[in-house]
Every structure is written in structure tokens, then in C-alpha cells.
Amino acid sequence: MPYADHFKLTDDLIQHLDSVLLHLNDPYIEAKYTGFLSVSAAAVLESALKEIFIDFSSAKHKVFGDFSKVFFFRINGRIALQDIRDTYLRHYGERYAKRFKTRLDKLEFQELRASNTSIKAAYGNLLTWRHEFAHAGRVPANASYSEVKLAYECGKKLMGCLASCMNR
């Protein structure tokens, strides 16, 4: 399955929530939906990340692909940018780590110029909001529904950047 297919689950949720929240005037319920969206977004981004690395590894060698399936099965939410750069890409070699850094920095610059949005910061915020909601039982106090949606879109772009780097 291509990594982007994982996004459909959250994209469908957003489409539904957009119509629900349009007529909802309850900040408490909206905050709960915001928390649910952050969890869904982080989950599909994690699935996409796993798919990217497993597909790349499997294309290199069957045994490497099998190893990657086991390795990435256990990452359990550890998909922060630092984890991607310093843990996962490190295992694949300096070439891929440098390529990712270069392309992500370029993407970051383009997004900052075009929309004044930091992909890196938005992605990090999304993971923080997800953690607060999923593990601490708190709705994201400093995040609106639209901010979580934007952060999710930034996460999709970050995964696209990663996928573009993981090729032979």
C-alpha cells in the first residue's frame, strides 16, 4: 500500500468534522474533537512513516524488509522529527539523512515564505497535542481545530519529503 493511502482515514474524519463543527457552538465539544483529530492525525502519520521505511527496506533486500517490519512495528508513537533524523535515518546511512535535511529545510523555507507556516514546528506541535490528549487526558489547551488541521497537513508534507528521500 502506498504510504499516502493511510491519510484517507484522517482526511475522511476531517471532512466529517468540518460539517459537524460548522453548526456546533460548544467550545467544550469542539476541544474534544480537536483532541480526537490530533490522535487520528498522529496515528496515520506513524503508519505512513512505517510504510515509507518498510517499502524502502523491502526494495533493497527481502531480509532487510523483514527486519524493518519487526523494527518499525515496535516504534509506538516515536515519530518526532528528532527520532526520524537521529534514530531511523541514521540506520539507513548518511546519504539519506543529508538528503532529508536538505529537502526538509528547503520545504520549510518555501512554506514559511508562502504561508508563514513552519512545517517543523507544526509537526512537533501536533505530536505534543496528541500526547496531551492520548496520555494525559487533557484536551489541547493551546490548539484550535483549525491549527490541528494545519499541523496535520504539514505532517503530510513532511512524510512526502521523507518518502522522496528514501529511494535508490
Residue 1 has pLDDT above 80, yes or no: no
Domain that holds residue 20: 3-165
Residue 59 C-alpha cell reads as 526494495
Q: pLDDT of 60-118, one tens digit each?
A: 999 999 999 999 998 988 999 999 999 999 999 999 999 999 999 999 999 999 999 99
CA 39 to chain centroid: 11
Share of the chain above pLDDT 90, in %: 86
**What three-state secondary structure class fits 25?**
coil
pTM for this model (two decimals): 0.95
Is residue 41 within 8 A of residue 130, CB to CB? The reply is: yes
Please give the grid coordinates belonging to residue 119: 512545517
Total number of domains in the chain: 1
